[in-house]
Amino acid sequence: MNWMPLVSLALVLLLAPLLPGVATRTRALLTGRRGAPVQQLYSDLAKLWRKGVVYSTTTTWIFRLAPVAATVTAILAACLLPLDGREAVVSFSGDLIAFASLLALARFTLVLAGLDTGSSFEGMGASREVTFASFAEPALFLCFIALVRATGSLSLTGMLGGPLSDAWPAAAPSLLMVAAALFAVLLAENSRVPVDDPATHLELTMVHEVIVLDHSGPDLALILYGSAVKLALFGALVVGVLLPRAHLPAAASLAVLAAGLLAVAALVGVVESVMARLRLDRVPQFLVAASALAFFAVVLLLW
Protein backbone atom coordinates (compact mmCIF):
# COMPACT_ATOMS: atom_id res chain seq x y z
CA MET A 1 0.00 0.00 0.00
CA ASN A 2 1.35 3.36 -1.06
CA TRP A 3 0.56 5.96 1.56
CA MET A 4 1.93 8.98 -0.27
CA PRO A 5 -1.34 10.02 -1.97
CA LEU A 6 -3.14 9.96 1.38
CA VAL A 7 -0.35 11.82 3.14
CA SER A 8 -0.31 14.51 0.47
CA LEU A 9 -4.10 14.72 0.56
CA ALA A 10 -3.96 15.27 4.33
CA LEU A 11 -1.25 17.91 3.86
CA VAL A 12 -3.36 19.80 1.31
CA LEU A 13 -6.49 19.59 3.46
CA LEU A 14 -4.55 20.94 6.44
CA LEU A 15 -2.76 23.62 4.43
CA ALA A 16 -5.83 24.83 2.52
CA PRO A 17 -7.10 27.45 5.00
CA LEU A 18 -3.66 29.04 4.97
CA LEU A 19 -3.93 30.02 1.28
CA PRO A 20 -6.66 32.69 1.45
CA GLY A 21 -4.77 34.13 4.40
CA VAL A 22 -1.54 34.30 2.38
CA ALA A 23 -3.37 35.96 -0.53
CA THR A 24 -5.02 38.54 1.73
CA ARG A 25 -1.77 39.20 3.59
CA THR A 26 0.18 39.70 0.37
CA ARG A 27 -2.44 42.13 -0.83
CA ALA A 28 -2.33 44.00 2.47
CA LEU A 29 1.47 44.22 2.49
CA LEU A 30 1.63 45.41 -1.12
CA THR A 31 -0.95 48.11 -0.47
CA GLY A 32 0.91 49.33 2.60
CA ARG A 33 -1.23 47.83 5.32
CA ARG A 34 -0.36 45.25 7.94
CA GLY A 35 -3.28 42.95 7.24
CA ALA A 36 -4.84 40.09 9.14
CA PRO A 37 -2.55 37.30 10.35
CA VAL A 38 -1.93 34.55 7.83
CA GLN A 39 -3.70 31.95 9.96
CA GLN A 40 -6.85 34.09 10.23
CA LEU A 41 -9.08 31.55 8.48
CA TYR A 42 -8.15 28.83 11.02
CA SER A 43 -9.29 31.10 13.84
CA ASP A 44 -12.45 32.02 11.93
CA LEU A 45 -13.26 28.37 11.34
CA ALA A 46 -12.69 27.53 15.02
CA LYS A 47 -14.88 30.44 16.08
CA LEU A 48 -17.68 29.59 13.65
CA TRP A 49 -17.57 25.94 14.61
CA ARG A 50 -18.38 26.78 18.25
CA LYS A 51 -21.32 28.97 17.33
CA GLY A 52 -24.96 28.05 16.88
CA VAL A 53 -26.83 27.98 13.58
CA VAL A 54 -29.75 30.15 12.60
CA TYR A 55 -32.12 28.87 9.93
CA SER A 56 -34.69 31.03 8.25
CA THR A 57 -38.20 29.58 8.31
CA THR A 58 -38.42 29.84 4.52
CA THR A 59 -35.52 27.46 3.99
CA THR A 60 -35.78 23.73 3.42
CA TRP A 61 -33.39 20.79 3.70
CA ILE A 62 -31.56 22.01 0.59
CA PHE A 63 -30.24 24.95 2.57
CA ARG A 64 -28.78 22.58 5.16
CA LEU A 65 -27.41 20.19 2.58
CA ALA A 66 -25.40 22.77 0.66
CA PRO A 67 -22.57 23.45 3.16
CA VAL A 68 -21.94 19.74 3.64
CA ALA A 69 -22.03 19.18 -0.12
CA ALA A 70 -19.63 22.08 -0.70
CA THR A 71 -17.01 20.60 1.61
CA VAL A 72 -17.49 16.96 0.68
CA THR A 73 -17.33 17.56 -3.07
CA ALA A 74 -14.18 19.64 -2.64
CA ILE A 75 -12.52 16.84 -0.64
CA LEU A 76 -13.67 14.21 -3.16
CA ALA A 77 -12.27 16.31 -6.00
CA ALA A 78 -9.01 16.51 -4.05
CA CYS A 79 -8.93 12.71 -4.03
CA LEU A 80 -8.85 12.75 -7.85
CA LEU A 81 -5.81 15.02 -8.15
CA PRO A 82 -2.33 13.48 -8.06
CA LEU A 83 -1.21 15.79 -5.26
CA ASP A 84 2.10 14.07 -4.59
CA GLY A 85 3.02 14.42 -8.24
CA ARG A 86 2.66 10.71 -9.02
CA GLU A 87 -0.76 9.30 -8.34
CA ALA A 88 -4.10 10.26 -6.86
CA VAL A 89 -6.02 8.48 -4.13
CA VAL A 90 -8.63 7.48 -6.72
CA SER A 91 -7.98 7.45 -10.42
CA PHE A 92 -9.79 6.16 -13.48
CA SER A 93 -9.95 6.99 -17.16
CA GLY A 94 -11.96 10.16 -17.66
CA ASP A 95 -11.76 11.30 -14.05
CA LEU A 96 -11.07 14.84 -15.24
CA ILE A 97 -14.77 15.09 -16.06
CA ALA A 98 -15.62 13.79 -12.59
CA PHE A 99 -13.29 16.45 -11.17
CA ALA A 100 -15.07 19.24 -13.04
CA SER A 101 -18.51 17.83 -12.24
CA LEU A 102 -17.75 17.59 -8.52
CA LEU A 103 -16.81 21.25 -8.47
CA ALA A 104 -19.90 22.06 -10.52
CA LEU A 105 -22.03 20.05 -8.09
CA ALA A 106 -20.68 22.10 -5.19
CA ARG A 107 -21.61 25.30 -6.98
CA PHE A 108 -25.00 23.91 -7.98
CA THR A 109 -25.99 23.06 -4.41
CA LEU A 110 -24.69 26.40 -3.11
CA VAL A 111 -26.69 28.24 -5.75
CA LEU A 112 -29.79 26.19 -4.93
CA ALA A 113 -29.32 27.00 -1.26
CA GLY A 114 -29.07 30.67 -2.17
CA LEU A 115 -32.29 30.46 -4.14
CA ASP A 116 -33.85 28.46 -1.32
CA THR A 117 -33.72 31.45 1.01
CA GLY A 118 -36.28 33.12 -1.22
CA SER A 119 -34.39 36.40 -1.17
CA SER A 120 -34.24 38.20 -4.50
CA PHE A 121 -30.79 39.48 -3.58
CA GLU A 122 -29.46 35.95 -3.29
CA GLY A 123 -31.22 35.12 -6.54
CA MET A 124 -29.21 37.88 -8.21
CA GLY A 125 -25.99 36.54 -6.71
CA ALA A 126 -26.89 33.03 -7.86
CA SER A 127 -27.51 34.26 -11.37
CA ARG A 128 -24.13 36.01 -11.51
CA GLU A 129 -22.30 33.06 -10.01
CA VAL A 130 -23.76 30.69 -12.58
CA THR A 131 -23.13 33.08 -15.46
CA PHE A 132 -19.45 33.36 -14.60
CA ALA A 133 -19.17 29.63 -14.06
CA SER A 134 -20.58 28.93 -17.51
CA PHE A 135 -17.71 30.94 -18.96
CA ALA A 136 -15.07 29.46 -16.66
CA GLU A 137 -15.91 25.84 -17.39
CA PRO A 138 -15.15 25.87 -21.14
CA ALA A 139 -11.76 27.37 -20.28
CA LEU A 140 -11.13 24.62 -17.73
CA PHE A 141 -12.10 21.92 -20.20
CA LEU A 142 -9.97 23.42 -22.98
CA CYS A 143 -7.04 23.31 -20.55
CA PHE A 144 -7.81 19.66 -19.85
CA ILE A 145 -8.05 18.92 -23.59
CA ALA A 146 -4.64 20.49 -24.10
CA LEU A 147 -3.20 18.38 -21.27
CA VAL A 148 -4.83 15.24 -22.64
CA ARG A 149 -3.39 16.00 -26.04
CA ALA A 150 0.07 16.68 -24.59
CA THR A 151 0.24 13.51 -22.51
CA GLY A 152 -2.15 11.12 -24.26
CA SER A 153 -3.83 10.15 -21.01
CA LEU A 154 -7.46 10.62 -20.02
CA SER A 155 -7.04 10.59 -16.26
CA LEU A 156 -5.70 13.35 -14.03
CA THR A 157 -3.13 10.96 -12.62
CA GLY A 158 -1.93 10.11 -16.10
CA MET A 159 -1.88 13.76 -17.16
CA LEU A 160 -0.20 15.36 -14.17
CA GLY A 161 1.62 12.30 -12.90
CA GLY A 162 4.29 10.84 -15.12
CA PRO A 163 4.18 11.88 -18.77
CA LEU A 164 3.88 15.64 -18.33
CA SER A 165 7.59 16.06 -17.60
CA ASP A 166 8.33 14.26 -20.88
CA ALA A 167 5.90 16.52 -22.73
CA TRP A 168 7.52 19.73 -21.47
CA PRO A 169 10.48 20.04 -23.86
CA ALA A 170 8.27 19.68 -26.95
CA ALA A 171 5.18 21.52 -25.78
CA ALA A 172 6.55 24.18 -23.43
CA PRO A 173 4.70 27.16 -25.01
CA SER A 174 1.36 25.34 -24.96
CA LEU A 175 1.82 24.21 -21.37
CA LEU A 176 2.73 27.73 -20.27
CA MET A 177 -0.44 29.03 -21.91
CA VAL A 178 -2.44 26.26 -20.24
CA ALA A 179 -0.98 27.26 -16.87
CA ALA A 180 -1.90 30.90 -17.50
CA ALA A 181 -5.44 29.97 -18.52
CA LEU A 182 -5.77 27.72 -15.47
CA PHE A 183 -4.68 30.61 -13.28
CA ALA A 184 -7.39 32.79 -14.82
CA VAL A 185 -9.92 30.02 -14.14
CA LEU A 186 -8.59 29.83 -10.58
CA LEU A 187 -9.25 33.53 -10.08
CA ALA A 188 -12.79 33.17 -11.44
CA GLU A 189 -13.72 29.93 -9.70
CA ASN A 190 -12.48 31.13 -6.34
CA SER A 191 -14.03 34.58 -6.69
CA ARG A 192 -10.78 36.46 -6.47
CA VAL A 193 -10.22 40.00 -7.64
CA PRO A 194 -10.56 40.60 -11.34
CA VAL A 195 -13.81 38.66 -11.21
CA ASP A 196 -15.14 39.05 -7.70
CA ASP A 197 -13.81 40.59 -4.52
CA PRO A 198 -13.84 38.29 -1.48
CA ALA A 199 -13.45 41.29 0.80
CA THR A 200 -16.40 43.30 -0.43
CA HIS A 201 -19.70 43.36 1.33
CA LEU A 202 -21.18 46.07 -0.80
CA GLU A 203 -24.49 44.76 -2.00
CA LEU A 204 -24.23 45.75 -5.64
CA THR A 205 -20.84 44.21 -6.27
CA MET A 206 -20.96 40.96 -4.33
CA VAL A 207 -21.13 37.79 -6.37
CA HIS A 208 -20.07 34.68 -4.53
CA GLU A 209 -20.48 36.20 -1.08
CA VAL A 210 -24.14 36.82 -1.78
CA ILE A 211 -25.22 33.22 -1.99
CA VAL A 212 -23.58 32.26 1.29
CA LEU A 213 -24.88 35.33 3.09
CA ASP A 214 -27.60 33.49 5.01
CA HIS A 215 -25.42 30.68 6.26
CA SER A 216 -24.13 30.91 9.80
CA GLY A 217 -22.08 29.04 12.38
CA PRO A 218 -20.73 25.60 11.45
CA ASP A 219 -22.53 25.78 8.09
CA LEU A 220 -20.59 28.89 7.14
CA ALA A 221 -17.41 27.25 8.45
CA LEU A 222 -18.00 24.29 6.13
CA ILE A 223 -18.56 26.59 3.14
CA LEU A 224 -15.44 28.63 3.93
CA TYR A 225 -13.39 25.48 4.36
CA GLY A 226 -14.78 24.04 1.11
CA SER A 227 -13.82 27.14 -0.83
CA ALA A 228 -10.36 27.13 0.74
CA VAL A 229 -9.90 23.52 -0.41
CA LYS A 230 -11.13 24.52 -3.87
CA LEU A 231 -8.50 27.27 -4.03
CA ALA A 232 -5.90 24.69 -3.00
CA LEU A 233 -7.14 22.32 -5.72
CA PHE A 234 -6.81 24.85 -8.50
CA GLY A 235 -3.48 25.92 -7.05
CA ALA A 236 -2.37 22.29 -7.15
CA LEU A 237 -3.50 22.06 -10.79
CA VAL A 238 -1.41 25.11 -11.73
CA VAL A 239 1.58 23.80 -9.75
CA GLY A 240 1.08 20.35 -11.27
CA VAL A 241 1.24 21.75 -14.81
CA LEU A 242 4.18 24.06 -14.16
CA LEU A 243 6.28 21.71 -12.03
CA PRO A 244 5.84 18.04 -12.90
CA ARG A 245 7.31 16.25 -9.89
CA ALA A 246 7.19 12.58 -10.89
CA HIS A 247 10.98 12.25 -10.79
CA LEU A 248 11.40 13.87 -7.36
CA PRO A 249 11.58 11.85 -4.12
CA ALA A 250 8.29 11.87 -2.22
CA ALA A 251 9.29 14.29 0.52
CA ALA A 252 10.78 16.77 -1.93
CA SER A 253 7.67 16.51 -4.06
CA LEU A 254 5.47 17.41 -1.10
CA ALA A 255 7.74 20.31 -0.19
CA VAL A 256 7.55 21.60 -3.76
CA LEU A 257 3.76 21.28 -3.68
CA ALA A 258 3.47 23.21 -0.42
CA ALA A 259 5.85 25.92 -1.63
CA GLY A 260 4.05 26.06 -4.97
CA LEU A 261 0.65 26.44 -3.34
CA LEU A 262 1.93 29.28 -1.15
CA ALA A 263 3.48 30.90 -4.22
CA VAL A 264 0.20 30.66 -6.14
CA ALA A 265 -1.66 32.18 -3.18
CA ALA A 266 0.90 35.00 -3.01
CA LEU A 267 0.50 35.52 -6.77
CA VAL A 268 -3.26 35.81 -6.28
CA GLY A 269 -2.51 38.50 -3.69
CA VAL A 270 -0.22 40.30 -6.14
CA VAL A 271 -2.90 40.20 -8.85
CA GLU A 272 -5.41 41.54 -6.37
CA SER A 273 -3.22 44.48 -5.49
CA VAL A 274 -2.21 45.47 -9.03
CA MET A 275 -5.55 44.94 -10.78
CA ALA A 276 -8.85 46.65 -10.33
CA ARG A 277 -11.94 44.55 -10.32
CA LEU A 278 -13.51 44.13 -13.73
CA ARG A 279 -16.91 45.54 -14.42
CA LEU A 280 -19.52 42.78 -14.33
CA ASP A 281 -20.05 42.71 -18.08
CA ARG A 282 -16.28 42.56 -18.66
CA VAL A 283 -15.89 39.36 -16.66
CA PRO A 284 -17.12 37.04 -19.45
CA GLN A 285 -14.64 38.77 -21.73
CA PHE A 286 -11.81 37.98 -19.31
CA LEU A 287 -12.85 34.34 -19.18
CA VAL A 288 -13.35 34.07 -22.93
CA ALA A 289 -9.83 35.45 -23.32
CA ALA A 290 -8.62 32.65 -21.02
CA SER A 291 -10.55 30.17 -23.16
CA ALA A 292 -9.01 31.60 -26.31
CA LEU A 293 -5.57 31.17 -24.76
CA ALA A 294 -6.30 27.55 -23.87
CA PHE A 295 -7.79 27.00 -27.32
CA PHE A 296 -4.62 28.36 -28.92
CA ALA A 297 -2.63 25.92 -26.79
CA VAL A 298 -4.81 23.08 -28.10
CA VAL A 299 -4.36 24.24 -31.71
CA LEU A 300 -0.59 24.33 -31.22
CA LEU A 301 -0.61 20.84 -29.79
CA LEU A 302 -2.75 19.53 -32.63
CA TRP A 303 -0.52 21.07 -35.25
Residues in contact with another protein by the rule CB under 8 A: 172-173, 282, 284-285, 288-289, 291-293, 295-296, 299-300, 302-303
Nearer to another protein (CB atom), residue 139 or residue 243: 139
Q: C-beta of 202: minimal distance to another protein in Å?
A: 17
Q: How far is the CB of 212 from another protein (least distance, A)?
A: 27
Minimum distance between the CB of residue 211 and another protein, rounded to whole angstroms?
24
Closer Cβ to another protein, 77 or 287, answer by number? 287
Q: Which residue's CB is nearer to another protein, number 159 or number 297?
A: 297
- Smallest gap from Cβ 216 to another protein, in A, equals 34
Which 3-state string (H, E, C) describes the chain?
CCCHHHHHHHHHHHHCCHHHHHHHHHHHHHCCCCCCCCCHHHHHHHHHHHCCCCCCCCCCHHHHHHHHHHHHHHHHHHHHCCCCCCCCCCCCCCHHHHHHHHHHHHHHHHHHHHHHCCCHHHHHHHHHHHHHHHHHHHHHHHHHHHHHHHHCCCCHHHHHCCCHHHHHHHHHHHHHHHHHHHHHHHHHHCCCCCCCCCCCCCHHHCCHHHHCCCCCHHHHHHHHHHHHHHHHHHHHHHHHHHCCCCCCCHHHHHHHHHHHHHHHHHHHHHHHHHCCCCCHHHHHHHHHHHHHHHHHHHHHHHC
Q: CB nearer to another protein: give 190 or 291.
A: 291
- The nearest distance, CB 178 to another protein, in angstroms, is 13
Nearer to another protein, 79 or 142 (CB): 142
